[in-house]
Chains A and B, each alone.
Chain A
Amino acid sequence: MKKNVLGIFILLVAIFVITAVINPKFLNAYNMQNLIKWSSLYAVMSLGVAFVIITGGIDLSIGSVVGLVSVVLSICLKLEGMDPWSAIGITLVLSLGIGLLHGLLITKAKVQPFVVTLCGLLVYRSMGRWLTDNQSIGPMPYEDDAGYKNLEQIQGLDFLFSGKIALGSFNLPTPALFILVLSIAAAVFLRRTIWGRYLFALGNNEEGTRYSGINTDRMKILAYVLCSLFAGIAGILFAFELDSVQPAQTGEFYELYAIAAAVLGGCSLRGGEGSVLGVVIAAAVIRLIYNSINMVGISTHLEFGILGLVILLGVIGDEFLKKAVARKQAAQKT
Chain B
Amino acid sequence: MDEKSSPLLEVSGLRKSFPGVLALRGVSLHLQKGEVLALIGENGAGKSTLMKILAGVQPADEGEFRVCGKKVSFRNVNDAMDRGIALIHQELNLCGNLDLAANVFLGREPTKAGLIDESEIRRQTEKFLSQVGLDLPVDTLAGSIPIGKQQLVEIAKALSCNARVLIMDEPTSSLSQKETETLFKVVKNLRSKGISVIYISHRLGEVKELADRVTVFRDGENAGELMQDQINHDNMVKLMVGRELSEFYDRQVHHPGKPVISLKDLRCPSYPQHPLSLKVSEGEIVGIAGLVGAGRTELLQTIFGVTPALSGSLEISGEVKEIRNPRAAISEGIALAPEDRKQHGLVLPMSVRENSSLPSLQRDASHGWLNENAERAVTQNAVKSMKIKTPNYEQMARFLSGGNQQKIVLGKWLAMSPKLLLLDEPTRGIDVGAKREIYKLMEKLAGEGMAILFVSSEMEEVLGMADRAYVMHEGKISGELSRDQLSEKAIMNLATGNLVAA
Task: Report the separation of the CA atoms of residues A89 and B327 in the bound assembly, to the nearest whole angstrom.
Answer: 35
Contact of B348 among A193, A204, A210, A215 (CB under 8 A): A204
> 1/0 per position for B187-225, CB-CB distance to A under 8 A?
000000000000000000000000000000000000000
Q: Would you list which residues of chain B between 346 and 364 have a CB under 8 Å from chain A?
A: 346-350, 354, 358-359, 361-362
In the complex, the answer to whether B365 meets A211 with C-beta atoms within 8 Å is no
Interface size on B, residues (CB 8 A): 39
Which of A200, A207, A272 has most B Cβ within 10 Å?
A: A207
> 1/0 per position for A199-216, CB-CB distance to B under 8 A?
011001101111111110
Contact of B338 among A193, A209, A211, A214 (CB under 8 A): A211
Residue of B nearest to A272 (CB): B349
The answer to whether the Cβ of A309 comes within 8 Å of any Cβ in the partner chain is no
Contact of B347 among A192, A205, A213, A326 (CB under 8 A): A205
Residue of A nearest to B367 (CB): A193
For B401, the chain A residues whose CB sits under 8 A away are 334
In the complex, the answer to whether A214 meets B327 with C-beta atoms within 8 Å is yes
The answer to whether the Cβ of B404 comes within 8 Å of any Cβ in the partner chain is yes
In the complex, the answer to whether A195 meets B326 with C-beta atoms within 8 Å is no
A267 to chain B, nearest CB (A): 14
Given A208-B344, A334-B20, the answer on whether A192 and B349 have CB atoms closer than 8 Å is no
Task: Report the separation of the CA atoms of residues A124 and B260 in the bound assembly, to the nearest whole angstrom.
Answer: 54
The answer to whether the Cβ of B345 comes within 8 Å of any Cβ in the partner chain is yes
> 1/0 per position for B408-444, CB-CB distance to A under 8 A?
0000100000000000000000000000000000000
Closest 5 CB pairs of A and B: A213-B330, A212-B358, A332-B391, A205-B347, A194-B361
6 A-B pairs in the complex with CB atoms less than 8 angstroms apart? A194-B368, A194-B370, A198-B361, A212-B358, A214-B362, A272-B347
Q: How many A-B residue pairs have CB under 8 A?
A: 91
Q: Would you list which residues of chain A between 176 and 207 have a CB under 8 Å from chain B?
A: 192-198, 200-201, 204-205, 207
Which of A197, A200, A207, A208 has most B Cβ within 10 Å?
A: A208
The answer to whether the Cβ of B395 comes within 8 Å of any Cβ in the partner chain is yes
For A215, the chain B residues whose CB sits under 8 A away are 325, 327
Known: A193-B369, A197-B370, A213-B362. 14 other contacts (CB 8 A): A194-B362, A194-B365, A197-B358, A200-B350, A201-B350, A205-B349, A208-B344, A211-B344, A211-B345, A212-B358, A213-B330, A330-B19, A330-B20, A333-B391
Q: Would you list which residues of chain B between 306 and 326 have a CB under 8 Å from chain A?
A: 306, 325-326
For A205, the chain B residues whose CB sits under 8 A away are 343, 346-349
Contact of B345 among A201, A208, A333 (CB under 8 A): A208
In the complex, the answer to whether A208 meets B343 with C-beta atoms within 8 Å is yes
A158 to chain B, nearest CB (A): 35
Interface size on A, residues (CB 8 A): 27
For B359, the chain A residues whose CB sits under 8 A away are 212-213
The answer to whether the Cβ of A299 comes within 8 Å of any Cβ in the partner chain is no
Q: Would you list which residues of chain B between 259 and 318 have a CB under 8 Å from chain A?
A: 304, 306
Task: Report the separation of the CA atoms of residues A332 and B304 in the bound assembly, to the nearest whole angstrom.
Answer: 36
For B327, the chain A residues whose CB sits under 8 A away are 213-215
For B400, the chain A residues whose CB sits under 8 A away are 334
The answer to whether the Cβ of B336 comes within 8 Å of any Cβ in the partner chain is yes
In the complex, the answer to whether B404 meets A211 with C-beta atoms within 8 Å is no
Q: Would you list which residues of chain A between 120 and 162 have a CB under 8 Å from chain B?
A: none
For B390, the chain A residues whose CB sits under 8 A away are 334
The answer to whether the Cβ of A169 comes within 8 Å of any Cβ in the partner chain is no
For B395, the chain A residues whose CB sits under 8 A away are 329, 332, 334
Which of B349, B399, B404 has most A Cβ within 10 Å?
A: B349
Residue of A nearest to B18 (CB): A330
Given A330-B399, A334-B391, A334-B401, the answer on whether A201 and B368 have CB atoms closer than 8 Å is no
